[in-house]
């Protein structure tokens, strides 16, 4: 069994054939899915999907860093958790994304992202939930925010894009790293994957985004998880079955999916 630990099945790209997408993934051996929210609306949608597909789809509730400029109220996430905790296995996705600020002074905007990230980390710690964390072009501040807390939450760095030093920082904090379809075409990831211990890995698609080769240009789907696992296995020199077993074990353990 494979688990897609990060896909957005609630997004409108799947409105026409969502049931078929889930069915095709199951045929490919992908039996469980984690659907993180990126704002309040999509977090509610993720819960609704989890209600319709019990023990198959699990929800995360969170605000993506791009939501920081709207100054969202993290208490809204707490209200969702309070009312629907049986369907929610994580806070997220949340984190920092400085890519959108390239070429501009963005100190205040970055501060808003850091504040929103920290508030969600504290929510996760309060309720002993893992965190699905987004980090793009922001690793130094990312780890600074985490280290400012009284305790480091458990969690995964979604769609890991850092270097070997960032990997060591993640490992020192006992984080998992999520690997997505870009592993099939990213030269950077091809160099990093051999250095990632199998004990840190989770599989993700980020569907409908980051479609793996040879399907680039099409909508991504959870059925491509085995393609991602196969590429990781090749880069690490281990059997695909070992990647499948280890990543599934890690996902079940981190997110407590039953």
pLDDT single digits (tens) 89-98:
999 999 999 9
pLDDT above 70 (res 162): yes
Length of the chain: 258
Ranges of each domain in the chain:
2-255
pLDDT at 258: 67
Res. 173: pLDDT tops 90: yes
Report the predicted TM-score, pTM, of the whole model to 2 decimal places. 0.97
**143 alpha carbon, distance to own chain's centre:** 17
48 in Cβ contact with 83 (< 8 Å): no
Question: How far, CA to CA in Å, does 126 sit from each of 119, 130, 149, 211?
Answer: 11, 11, 12, 35
Task: Write a three-state SS string for the chain.
Answer: CEEECCCCCCCHHHCCCHHHHHHHHHHCCEEEEEEECCCHHHHHHHHHHHHHCCCCEEEEECCCHHHHHHCCCCHHHHHHHHHHHHHEEEEEEEEEECHHHCCCCCHHHHHHHHHHHHHHHHHHHHCCCCEEEEEECCHHHHHHHHHCCCCCCCEEEECCCCCHHHHHHHHHCCCEEEECHHHHCCHHHHHHHHHCCHHHEEECCCCCCCCCCCCCCCCCCHHHHHHHHHHHHHHHCCCHHHHHHHHHHHHHHHHCCC
Query: What is the arithmetic mean of pLDDT over 135-144?
Result: 97
User: Measured in whole angstroms, how far is the alpha carbon of residue 39 from the centre of its chain?
Assistant: 14
Which class is 2-255 in CATH? Answer: alpha beta
CA–CA distance, 30 with 150 (Å, rounded to integer): 37
What integer pLDDT is reported at residue 102 of this predicted model? 84
Measured in whole angstroms, the distance separating CA 32 from the mean position of its chain's CA atoms is: 14
179-235 pLDDT tens trace = 999 999 999 999 999 999 999 999 999 999 999 999 999 999 999 999 999 999 999
Residue 98 CA to residue 104 CA, distance in Å, equals: 10
CA 21 to chain centre: 19
**Nearest of 19, 4, 72 to residue 42 by alpha carbon:** 72
What pLDDT is recorded for position 257?
84
Helix 107-126 vs helix 75-84: crossing angle, to nearest 10: 30
Q: What is the pLDDT of residues 92-115, one digit of tens each?
A: 999 999 998 888 888 899 999 999
The residues that bridge with 202 in the sheet, in sequence order, are 178
Measure the CA–CA gap between 216 and 15, rounded to whole angstroms: 21
């Amino acid at each position: 069994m494979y688990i897609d630990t990060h896909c957005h099945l609630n997004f409108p790209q799947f409105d026409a054939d969502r049931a078929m997408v889930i069915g095709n993934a199951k045929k490919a051996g992908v039996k469980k899915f984690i659907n993180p929210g990126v704002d309040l609306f999509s977090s509610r949608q993720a819960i609704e999907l989890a209600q319709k597909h019990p023990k198959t789809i699990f929800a995360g509730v969170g605000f993506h860093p791009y939501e920081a400029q709207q100054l969202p109220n993290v208490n809204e996430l707490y209200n969702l958790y309070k009312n629907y905790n049986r369907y929610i296995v994580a806070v997220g996705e949340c984190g920092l994304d400085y890519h959108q600020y390239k070429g501009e002074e963005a100190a205040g905007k970055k501060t808003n992202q850091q504040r929103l990230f920290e508030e969600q980390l504290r929510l996760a710690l309060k309720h002993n939930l893992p965190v699905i964390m987004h980090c793009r072009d922001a690793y130094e501040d990312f780890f600074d925010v985490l280290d400012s807390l009284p305790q480091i939450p458990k969690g995964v760095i979604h769609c890991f894009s850092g270097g070997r030093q960032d990997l060591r920082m993640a490992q020192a904090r006992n984080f998992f790293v999520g690997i997505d379809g870009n592993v099939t075409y990213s030269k950077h990831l091809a160099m990093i994957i051999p250095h990632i211990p199998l004990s840190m890995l989770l599989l993700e698609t980020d569907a409908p985004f980051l479609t793996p080769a040879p399907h680039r240009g099409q909508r991504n789907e959870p059925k491509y998880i085995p393609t991602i696992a196969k590429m990781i296995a090749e880069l690490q020199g281990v059997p695909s079955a070992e990647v499948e077993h280890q990543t599934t074990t890690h996902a079940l353990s981190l997110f407590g999916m039953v």
